[in-house]
Amino acid sequence: MSEHFASFDGTELAIHIEGTGRPVILLHGLFSSAHMNWIKWGHGARLAAAGFKAIMLDFRVHGDSDAPRDPQAYPPGVLVRDAAALAEHLGLEPGGFDLVGFSLGARTAIHAVAYGILEPRRLAICGMGLAGLGEWERRAAHFKRVIDEFDTIKPGDPAYVARTFLKSQGVDRVAARLLLDAMDDFDLARLSGIRMPTAVICGEDDHDNGSAEELVAALPDAHYVAVPGSHLNSVTKPELGEAIVRFLAA
């Protein structure tokens, strides 16, 4: 089931739902979508089969959500505010839901929890390491170059893979550039305030966002789960969804 709701500023965002049990919000990665990260590879269905209600958001500029080109639609922390608006729209109470994020979704989830904006029962962080939080400006510069030099990036360029993926997903590049400018580095000291049980689930060959083990060490109640794959393909593996289900069902 898919539906839309109006976020904090009226931007229409899409959510996709599978299952009828305990609510789980799932946040996807940059230039991706709920379909590409959670639905296509069966992770939403795995959660539904295990007794959860998988609530999969399309961030603004992604999937079936709006992609406004007005700079006013991208205030600082816009994606965190969208996630909070989703929880409010669904009437989710603190501790009454779980939260899962992959890559950009993981970063958004950590921001939301560390600043007390969302209070999930359990938190699953996928495809993220310590450097991906504290060195966002460096990471963002890579994606800004993909957008700014989109028509001139050729095979063999380190940015070509990201360019190809961006093109395949039909992302509005003007809106995406505005979104990238709305995000900033994370204060790593705030990780100590994330006290709910947390699983850091990462591909064994995924080094795009730094060390998952270092992220675990910085969190008060976290453990590391290695799954097959790299940053690009770990989300396509059934082991990722299985690890999420095991953690949330424990």
Q: Domain locations in the chain?
A: 2-135+186-249
| pLDDT of 162 | 87
Please give the CATH superfamily to which domain 2-135+186-249 belongs. Alpha/Beta hydrolase fold, catalytic domain (3.40.50.1820)
SS3 state of residue 131:
helix
Residues of the chain with pLDDT under 50: none
**Of 59, 84, 14, 18, which is closest to residue 241 (Cα–Cα)?**
18
Residue range 118-134, pLDDT digits in tens: 999 999 999 999 999 98
| pLDDT of 225 | 98
Cα 117 to its chain centre, rounded Å, is 16
| Strand partners of residue 198 | 123, 222
SS3 state of residue 194:
coil
Burial string for 19-30 (b: 16+ CB within 10 Å, else e) reads beebbbbbbbbb
pTM: 0.95
| pLDDT of 242 | 98
**Of 147, 148, 149, 82, which is closest to residue 117 (Cα–Cα)?**
82
| pLDDT of 134 | 86
> Residue holding tokens 């560390």?
114
**CA 96 to CA 239: how far, in whole Å?**
26
| pLDDT of 44 | 98
Length in residues, the chain: 250
| pLDDT of 185 | 84
| pLDDT of 177 | 95
